[in-house]
Amino acid sequence: MFIPEEDKIAVFMTTLRVRKSFDIGNRLDPYIIVIATDKNNGVIRMSANHFAFPGSQVYQQIINPDNALLLYGPENPGEFLTLSIMLMDADTDIQNAGKKLEEVINSTATTADVIAKLTANPTVTVATMLAEQVLRGVAEIMRKNEDDPIMFVHDSWLQGLTPPYGINQYKLHASDAAEISLRVSPVSKKPQLNWLEIANVAV
């Protein structure tokens, strides 16, 4: 039996497909940037990570259930978990995405603003708004590299749901440009991802 106050979950991306061409020949170098926020035992954490998929094709199922991508966990998120995902197509060096993300997050103004707002109002709505703010900032920087924004996804899961966090359920996010599906699973202990911490503050 899953105990939401104690047991861990993981969130997987089980589908990623780009439907829109950004290049002659339908070639893609997509990447995603993910910001996860959770609130456990009075501490709210916001962290970021990025993943690249060079050499892809339009309509290719880049991610499927057999090679699902771990986006969060295994962790117990506590009261809530939010994920904000930005899907971009790289026009130049795909590695620049991660470097630019770190530049934006590590800027004093951005970090101070995030911490202040999360401390004042540690809710799902505020966490999602701040994550979107960071991702829009990164997107604006990457547009100067002629990278193309494809899709933004914002989702949340609550401990108080039935079932808790919507475990073992899928959520599909689709647009004319792309489709992404997410699944929440109760999992055993596995190696954790290397996240870049944005905020970790008592609230």
The answer as to whether 1 is a domain residue is no
List of long-range contacts for 122-125, beta carbons under 8 Å, 24+ apart = 122/39, 122/44, 122/203, 124/80, 124/82, 124/156, 124/158
Among 29, 102, 38, smallest CA distance to 71 is for 38
Q: Is the pLDDT of residue 32 over 90?
A: yes
The two three-digit tokens of residue 184, written as one number: 């929440």
Residue 21 resides in a domain: yes
The domain total for the chain is 1
Task: Indicate whether 177 belongs to any domain.
Answer: yes
- Segment 18-32 mean pLDDT: 85
Radius of gyration of the chain (CA): 17
d(CA 138, CA 108) in angstroms, rounded, equals 15
- Stretch 95-119: mean pLDDT: 74
The predicted structure's pLDDT at residue 97 = 63
pLDDT by residue (tens digit) across 158-178? 999 999 999 999 999 999 999
Domain span at 136: 9-202
Within a domain: 42: yes
156 vs 82: CA distance, rounded Å: 4
Average pLDDT over residues 128-153: 87
For 34-38, 103-107, 147-151, 198-202, which range has the lowest pLDDT when averaged over its residues? 103-107
Residue 186 in domain: yes
Q: Residue 54 is part of a domain; what is its CATH number?
A: 2.60.40
Q: Please state the pTM of the whole predicted model.
A: 0.86
How far, in Å, CA of 174 to CA of 108, rounded? 35
Q: Going by C-beta distance under 8 Å and a sequence separation of 6 or more, which residues neighbour residue 3?
A: none
Residue 4 lies in a domain: no
> First and final CA of the chain: distance in angstroms?
30
83-106 tens-digit pLDDT? 999 999 987 666 666 677 677 777
Q: Is 2 within a domain?
A: no
Q: How many CB atoms lie within 10 A of CB 46?
A: 26
Tell whether 115 is covered by a domain: yes
Per residue in 58-78, pLDDT tens?
A: 999 999 999 999 999 999 999
Q: At what angle do helices 108-120 and 124-143 cross, to 10 degrees?
A: 160
